[in-house]
A and B are shown apart, each in its own frame.
Chain A
């Protein structure tokens, strides 16, 4: 399995599995425990944005105020039928708008290519009541998946899925370590880490155990990216690294935040899976913000982070409320910051110019 090819053609592995008789389950939103899908014997496939900004199918329903390319293209490709081959799409509760839009498109008689939908809701507050609600949501999802695949999701199946998922995390840590040791570029690391969402775990683990080393060149300043929303593309990394910097980590489920801690192997496996995703996933509704950004704030002080890049494209209408707080934290950690408002997909060269200017300014001071 060519993991980097899977990053470019994200449906390929799922389509191949499907042709081989394995059910495919798509998921939208970061809060989806792939372990449940694996335990059901299905192929988990993340459905997310597209760098091609054209959205003729979405344009019929959403006005221009909905200007998030990730949202528009995800909706568009599903309506267009790109994912008609999957047996079910599970939508995380924090992304429920798109779930309701799909339902409405279908109700209007125009969503033939939209697969069956399921809404899975985890609340990420610090309130104790999250647990009972989330566990019941998880049990209900497992029942739905079992109905789909016919495979019983018992403790043994969940434990096996946890084991596979942890092995995948172990492989991903190798990527992170190589990046940290300057044996791999940030672009390459992002592509490899992102591909975990598009490739079957055993193949992914095997691919990542091979020779991954690059020679990106040492001595470049290390950048931590704090993006306003998930990086479904590599354009930002390309733009930054073309300027002579090195992306050492990103606060993002497509990159560094895809790894996290292993899922506990003792106790109730369903509870362990829920706990992992509830506690660690940097979803948009994590409350309070100090919890959501705790990882990034910790990274501000890391020795390999020379500066922090806040990537806040024009489509941001949420993260900006947290930016002044994060900026102050980065400054308190003694780190320089760059605030990028350009859209990396549309303006990659502009990103490069801005980062180059930032680096030059840093060098002169």
Chain B
């Protein structure tokens, strides 16, 4: 890292316990170094894509991609978000803009390329984004494309008239009915444009069979995650920390549909199963389980382990593994573009809007046997209007008998971290609400 501008934010570091974590992390680092080499030295194309876009299409063309939000998470985890967010403001992007997902733009604009993780992002072939209920995301993607001098492709998501309350049980098979044929058709049309762009970038033809195989592998990978989820839900004491779960799931999801991801998911599942069988517990005297709601607290994932010794309290669940299982699996891949489109026809609603998100979260709390929920404000709460911590959500959880605390901290902006206040508030919540309810 360059001199000056020391990391801002929390200072704790996360300890990892799983053997597979080192394997997965080192693969990711090696993959990115290889990506840089392929892009810079060999001139191969790669794409910066929003997290909730059909990466599988890129995978089917062997086009590597970096998920924008995950890049933000990586920068935040290195405690560099403060520096880069200041940089954005100096460029004229005001401080009220959502920070989640903004750090790729900041690293692209910053002249000191070596400061960024892994030496920064090289110029992509194009930026892939969505047009949905967060219009700012699309404008931000255009600014990112402009910063790189690259093209931007945006996939419009049609409005959804009816939100299912049981999508997490039904959508894997019943997606056509839940999301509507006309909406799926419209999404497929924009996917065809993406396919044409990929064909132009690579000089290769679209292979539907290859895409289908990728989707089928992704389905199998998510089923391994389902095994992990069930192991955590049923184990007397949780076998894995949330930071470690998050890191592994995110990296595997990044590469979903690949043989590597499938094998990594199985390795992750097998190790969790071994730990459960051997009664290995993260916190041997675990008493209380908490759920984290909203985007990951990337600026300080050590927070998730801060209450193990003091309060025998563990975090066991976040949206990441559960949405991979409940939101990504699509059976019936005979037309792989339609199956893929059906995933993105609903997923942002299911992460944000009641009753889709509230019913799912309650179900998750119960199945994970949590004693309380801590909610972050979500990625771009001002825009979405329904944050993970909206009163709709708090009320739904409390009505379901789940004590709920809203932690008002930006999940990536290290400048917003106030260790003393946050620890005191969460301690208070555990002692006064969670422990008393038992």
Binding site for B on A (CB under 8 A): 59-63, 65-68, 71, 93-94, 96-101, 103-104, 107, 119, 121, 123, 125, 127-130, 133, 136, 284-285, 287-289, 312, 314-325, 327, 341
Contacts and interface: CB of A to CB of B under 8 A. Distances in A.
Interface stretch (B89-97, B308-316, B428-436): B89-97
Contacts of A317: 96-98, 136, 380, 382-383
* Interchain residue pairs A-B with the least CB separation, the first 8: A318-B136, A93-B159, A129-B189, A321-B139, A324-B92, A65-B381, A317-B382, A121-B159
A288 B135 CA distance: 11
Contacts of B389: 63, 65
A137 to B, nearest CB: 8
B355 A320 contact: no
Contacts of B158: 93, 121, 123, 133
B385 A324 contact: no
Given A97-B353, A101-B385, A317-B98, 5 more contacts: A65-B378, A125-B190, A288-B142, A288-B154, A317-B97
Interface of B: 91-94, 96-98, 131-136, 138-140, 142-143, 146, 152, 154, 156, 158-161, 163, 182, 185-186, 189-190, 193, 349, 353-355, 377-378, 380-387, 389-392, 406
28 contacts: A59-B391, A61-B392, A62-B392, A63-B377, A63-B391, A65-B378, A65-B387, A93-B159, A94-B133, A94-B135, A98-B385, A100-B163, A101-B385, A101-B386, A119-B161, A121-B159, A125-B156, A130-B156, A316-B96, A318-B97, A318-B136, A319-B139, A320-B136, A321-B142, A325-B143, A325-B146, A327-B92, A341-B94
Contacts of B140: 321
Contacts of B96: 314-317, 320
Contacts of B353: 97, 100-101, 104
A318 B383 contact: yes
Given A63-B390, A97-B353, A316-B96, A285 B131 contact: yes
Contact of B133 (A63, A96, A103): A96
Given A63-B389, A289-B139, A133 B182 contact: yes
A131 B94 CA distance: 36
B97 to A, nearest CB: 5
B92 to A, nearest CB: 4
A100 B354 contact: yes
A318 B135 contact: yes
A324 B105 CA distance: 13
Contact of A136 (B139, B161, B182, B387): B182
Contacts of A66: 381-382, 385, 387, 390
A6 to B, nearest CB: 29
A123 B91 contact: no
A320 B132 CA distance: 17
Nearest to B144: A321
Contacts of B156: 123, 125, 127, 130, 285, 287
A98 B406 CA distance: 23
Nearest to A318: B136
Nearest to B161: A119
B138 A285 contact: yes
Nearest to A328: B92
B384 A97 contact: yes
A93 B161 CA distance: 9
B391 A125 contact: no
A63 to B, nearest CB: 5
A129 B157 CA distance: 12
Nearest to B386: A97
Nearest to B139: A321
Given A65-B377, A100-B163, A127 B190 contact: yes
Nearest to A324: B92
A274 B426 CA distance: 52
Contact of B385 (A71, A130, A288, A314): A71
Nearest to B136: A318
A33 to B, nearest CB: 16
A247 B265 CA distance: 60
Which of A287, A289, A341 has the most B CB atoms < 10 Å from its CB?
A287
A311 to B, nearest CB: 12
Contacts of B384: 97
A30 to B, nearest CB: 12
A341 B95 CA distance: 11
Contacts of B354: 100-101, 104
A321 B385 contact: no
A127 to B, nearest CB: 6
A99 B386 CA distance: 12
Nearest to B385: A97
Which of B154, B353, B385 has most chain A Cβ within 10 Å?
Answer: B385
Contacts of B142: 288-289, 321-322
A101 B91 CA distance: 36
Contacts of B391: 59-63
B32 to A, nearest CB: 26
A75 B269 CA distance: 46
Contact of B94 (A71, A99, A129, A316): A316
Contacts of B136: 317-321
Contacts of A319: 136, 139
